[in-house]
Amino acid sequence: MPHTTLGVDLAAQPENTAYCLIEWIKPKARIIELHCGADDAVLLEMFGRSDKIGIDAPFGWPTAFAAAVYAHQRRNVWPAVRTASLRYRTTDHIVRERIKRWPLSVSSDLIGVTAMRAARLLSEKGRIDRSGRGRFVEVYPAAALHIWGFPSTGYKKKPGEEKRRVVTRRLISTTKPWLDWPVDAQQACEKSDDALDAVVAALVARAAATDQSEPIPRKHMAAAKREGWIALPRAGSLASLATDV
């Protein structure tokens, strides 16, 4: 039976949102749809066509931040907590340890607006498991690229055009034995970092679906369910995504 993964590079606005749908038929896979510019209605339709969905957006906010805002709203007090605990989730600390740089802070960077859109979209699907063990999983394409051995910085927007071409062509060369890349998909990734991140998000969704992502430590499971959890693929997993079940 075919299995489909959807990667979504979510942004605050539809014009900067891209998605990629990959079909997996062991031992091969193919990109069957890659589109830049997706509104909520389109994304909800794509959710319905996909078995596992990787979304590049935070699924929640730091527990300490949520508690601080709630306390301030009710009693006009601000808890005495470290600023770092207000800015970063447990999963962000794990990512920082793994790739030596911080993800954007959902509580203090512009990614918070994207997280609001993610929350709205995911609420349409009812109660989801923010730890990623259900159909939806939080992903971080730059971290995945780093773990898989590709350049993971400097490929964004106009200044990153040349590096984005390098990343795209290396990714195609590495996955060519098992992943069918239509010409228009290659061109889209070279032109747009949104498209490239959507493809990587779909690949990470496959890693999560086939138990090829790093497990959540038991001590962090409660935090993962509240705040969300970034799925990090295991090193070396890219080569086996199409063959493992």
Q: What's the Rg (C-alpha) of the chain?
A: 18
Instruction: Kindly report the pTM of this predicted structure.
Output: 0.96
Number of neighbours of residue 237 by Cβ within 10 angstroms: 22
Fold for the domain defined by 3-59+87-240: Nucleotidyltransferase; domain 5 (3.30.420)
Sign of the dihedral through C-alpha 209, 8, 230, 99: positive
pLDDT for the residue numbered 75: 84
Ranges of H-type helices in 152-231: 161-175, 183-191, 193-209, 221-227
Per-position pLDDT tens, the chain of length 245: 459 999 999 999 999 999 999 999 989 999 999 999 999 999 999 999 999 999 999 999 999 999 999 999 998 888 889 999 999 999 999 999 999 999 999 999 999 999 999 999 999 988 899 999 999 999 999 999 999 999 999 999 999 999 999 999 999 999 999 999 999 999 999 999 999 999 999 999 999 999 999 999 999 999 999 999 999 999 999 999 998 65
